Amino acid sequence: MNSIRFATLFIAAALLGGTAFAQGTYPNKPIKFVVPFPPGGNLDFVARHLQPKMQEVLGQPVLIDNKGGNAGMIGLEFAAKQPGDGYTIVLGNTGTIAINQAVYPKMNYDAVKDFVPIGITTTNALMATIAGNVPANNLKEFIAYAKANPGKLNFAISGAGSGPHFGAEMFKRSAGLDIPVVFYKGSGPAVTDLLGGQVQIQMDAPSVTMTHVKAGKLKAIAVTGKARLASLPDVPTFEQAGLAVDASGFQGVLAPAGTPPEAVARLSQALNAALAQPEVKEKFATAGLDTVSSTPAEFAAFIRSEIVKWGRVAKEANIKLD
């Protein structure tokens, strides 16, 4: 008798849960927003500008939770293991969503199977930035200095197998440079050492070093992509310098697999509303980020195409990581 009563209560609770979503009471508690890198990096920058606008639309706190380490895989693995109830989202990027699956033979999450796409947030070129104490002021001078001073330079990268890692390897190969790569747990720690002169060059999203470049503490020497950044019009593209560095990045929000369609739709609505805000677009543009809005289905198709693209690049460059 007790087992029947328990089963009846369980079914009733499940039905009430479905009714709650149907009646639009979601969300009714705070939402955790996982950022798989430490504070101070590009993903953290994007998340902290989206967070206040999203919580205005959702009517509940959106709490940023930085979980950096292992090329962003610690944060993605953590998010993948959370309940698919609409109360956990994660901000992924080119490396964590597309590249990692191509370069790491063993991973504890699958970017396609373990997540439901919510939407793309931004895309960006990559920017090569050098330390203030490097005796070069542009790309040509830096290449000449690097070739004349072998063993004196180190290349800061925010995680093995990341988009910046691929960009750095393309740059080195195209320019004929032999500069050892130093991997960091995120962009923030890498730029700290760049400012301190412990490393001499960093490849990353423009938002990571833009403030320091404009303050004269660091020097931007080139960007990927077809066009110069509007915020740094004097900095040329690699292509304009005759170098083949075809690397760029994207960022996007996902939720754990099993998240109800009603929650996905609500999160997508809140995300696109945040991205539509003029002040958000301006902040992103100033930092060299292009604002993008999409449906969950469009983001899903984009993810599949990026996995294919970066898998091909990894194979051609013979990049495999343990």
Model pLDDT for residues 49-94, shown as the tens digit of each residue: 999 999 999 999 999 999 998 889 999 999 999 999 999 999 999 9
> 209 and 280: one domain?
no
> 116 and 134: one domain?
no
* 223 domain-assigned: yes
92 DSSP β-pair partners: 252
Alpha-carbon Rg for the chain, nearest whole angstrom, is 21
* Full domain range(s) for residue 203: 127-241
> 189 and 299: one domain?
no
> 221 and 78: one domain?
no
* 322 domain-assigned: no
116-171 tens-digit pLDDT = 999 999 999 999 999 999 999 999 999 999 999 998 999 999 888 888 998 998 99
> 232 and 258: one domain?
no
Please give the Cα distance from 70 to 78 (Å, whole number).
12
CATH of the domain at 288: 3.40.190.150
2 band by pLDDT with thresholds 50, 70 and 90: very low
CATH of the domain at 201: 3.40.190.10
Average pLDDT of the segment spanning 167-193: 93
Average pLDDT over the chain, rounded to whole?
A: 90
> 111 and 131: one domain?
no
The domain boundary, picked from 241, 263, 278, lies at 241
> 13 and 116: one domain?
yes
Phi, psi of 33, deg, nearest 5: -115, 100
Q: Evaluate if residue 7 carries a pLDDT over 70.
A: no
Q: What is the pLDDT of residue 13?
A: 41
> Total domain count for the chain?
2
214-261 tens-digit pLDDT = 999 999 999 998 899 989 999 999 999 999 898 889 999 999 999 999
